Structure 1
Amino acid sequence: DVGIDMIAGPSEVCVVADDTADPSLVAIDLMAQAEHDPLATCYLIAFSAEYADAVESAIDEHMKRTTRADITTASLRDQGLIVICRDLPQAIEAVNVIAPEHLELHIANPMDSLGAIRHAGAIFMGEWTPEAVGDYVAGPNHTLPTGGTARFSSPLAVEQYVKKSSIIQYSPAALAADAESIVAIAKHEGLWAHARSVELRIG
């Protein structure tokens, strides 16, 4: 038996788009995720209903040319969600709740918001960085945490295939400094020998 890093999927994208973003580009990026699978999840976080309507209209236009209309329609209909936020901080808060596999920032100065984003598998910065570049050529691993697991998981990396050992060495002074805490925790757990193994060493 061989373990795996995670069971990834269905795929998902969250697009944060302010009023400077091109609705046609936002629409096609949502569709690029939706065409994967009827279970693919697509979130649009916008700042006005009027802008969200413009994106939906652009989707309708793109749908006239797609070669995967049934899949794309099913995904957007059943797994799509539009969230209207009052401002960018609230939008970033929503992103951190969703913890999306893919996050696209179609906003002015996306780098300014990067530090507030805690939970996202891969972050695509600005209108010139569609999620498709991450699928095919950008370089970072495209096996990403899905289903909200970006709250505690990271993209697949070489670390998942490297076995490591922890090396611990205390000096007499270091053990004496930590002894009280170790003994207190051990006694709280009812583990007498744990506590005594420290007490015998520090006298």
Structure 2
Amino acid sequence: MSRAHDCSHCALAKLCLPFSLDDASLETLSAKIKDQTSLKKRDILYKKGQTFSSLYAVKSGAFKASIYVKDQEIITHFFLPGEIIGFEGIHAKHYATTTIALNDSTVCEINFDDLKHLAQTNPLMQDHLFSLMSHDIAGAVYTHPHHEALSQLAAFLVQLSTRFQRRGLSATRFELPMTRQDIANHLGLALETVSRLMSKLQAQKIIKTELRLLTIISLEKLSALI
């Protein structure tokens, strides 16, 4: 299901593409956004190999981007509200992952050619677009496979904390949109390892978990593990 969207009324505007636009440019961008589309949990936003045409701004919910190697899922990214999905497709002109809604979610779709034209005529927009692309690349740094497992998990949780805080939410108490299996598939660890390390962090009173609700008791101690 989809409906029209007005960027000027979006609470996530400062995190998303309209960040640097004046009223006239914002109106132009709003007109070029195809629609606000709703997806159910496990719905596919796009598939690996699909022709690249658009970027997607997450309005609500969360997504995971995955590839499969010998039937093993490898999750390359998680996306939260205010973040942009699809940069991976710019170079090769096709999407490099299959991206799926982790829960009921909504996205705003904008054609990349339209966005590129707008960026060429608006230097602030162009700078912000480059900044968003840089954040997308930097997001993969903490998943380096040679890092110690506990360090990887700690870095992942700290980065999630920062991302939630940017959205005006609590940095120390938030709902994890992904399962522990998803976290394991993202960090290249076994599910048992993730569960054991989460239990260890709880025993050390660094975090507390209640189902998917995560409370970071000591952000300082968690950061020190990275």
TM-score of the aligned structures, taking structure 2 as reference length:
0.26
When you count helix as a share of all residues, which structure comes out higher?
A: 1
If you compute each CA radius of gyration, which structure gives the higher value, 1 or 2?
1
TM-score of the aligned structures, taking structure 1 as reference length:
0.28
When you count strand as a share of all residues, which structure comes out higher?
A: 2
